[in-house]
Amino acid sequence: MIRTLYQSIAKPIFFRFDPEWIHETILHTLPLIGPLKPVMQNQFSFNDGRLKQTIWGLDFNTPIGLAGGFDKNARCVNLWDAFGFSFFEIGTVTPKPQPGNPKPRLFRYPHREALINRMGFNNDGSEVIAERLQHLAALPHRALMGVSLGKQFDTPVDDLDQVVDDYCTSLKRLHDYGDFFVVNVSSPNTKNLRELQQKESLQAILNALKMELQTKDKAKPLCVKFAPDLSEEQINEAVSAALECGIDGFIATNTTNQTGETESGGLSGKPLRERATEVVKLIAHITEGNVPIIGCGGILDAPDAIEKLEAGAWALQIYTGFVYRGPGVVYDLNCGILNEMDKRGFTHLSDFRKG
């Protein structure tokens, strides 16, 4: 019923407003639904042992998560499980607050089921977000939380010491709250950020973060998120560099700067599906399927999800699919994956990766 109401009533209303304004309005309003959380969980949550898996020692109830960038400032961390998400990412977070790029900076393309954003790591800063998480930590939730880390917009990429300090500062502040951490060196919306995917820069960041994690009482996994616009040679080099640093996982992919539209920024949604899957497959080949990959990009329905799993993804993230398909999309994706497992006689998600 809620899914039908979203498509027939809520979505047409939401799409009449500026995308960023309605997004922020919804995020500020969502905490008010707290008393309705059990009702929502009954509608959207999914509990089937065949979808459960343990990655990095963490229990993922289903393979579907919410991608970074949706809840940048950790306002709804106790609510994402109500929509059926098994995990989610906050951020991307920087050490100091920053406003991001000038508005407007978020655009819908309904005929393509796509979005373009050039947000620019707008966020409250890791100190404020850590304080917020401290207050929200006591609220019950069953979804795992990843933290996406980024550099300050005005930190030059060739000042590696300061770049490394940016990433490490946020990690130190948020270590106790995140279940896993993601190094964002692939957003197209922070000037020259993607240069940090080159071997020397990438390894400097990853080695420093790994060393910082080793000083903590509890080891937590570290992932890196790559751009879909890298060539095969560049992906090979970046993945190999990350493996040398002992990276725990990969997220493939971020948005693409090949938008095909007049607006610049990062394109997400259906047009990204094919290339994101190609990158998942390439990383899986390089790692021989031994390092967890979270597939992200163009997942709007079950065939999209299954395609990523077959390519080598261990888990999946959505963003644009949540915007276009609404709150029932997580349930629908899980149902579709299970139906396909039944058809093929699969008993575990890893069976997709095995072919």
Which residues share a beta bridge with 107?
116
How far apart CA 183 and CA 185 sit, in angstroms, is 6
Alpha-carbon distance 260 to 271, whole Å? 10
Q: Which residues are catalytic?
A: 187
- Give the Cα separation of 347 and 355 in Å (integer): 13
**Do 53 and 63 contact (CB within 8 A), yes or no?**
yes
C-alpha 258/C-alpha 245 separation (Å) is 30
- List the one residue out of 89, 28, 91, 93 whose CA is nearest residue 64: 89
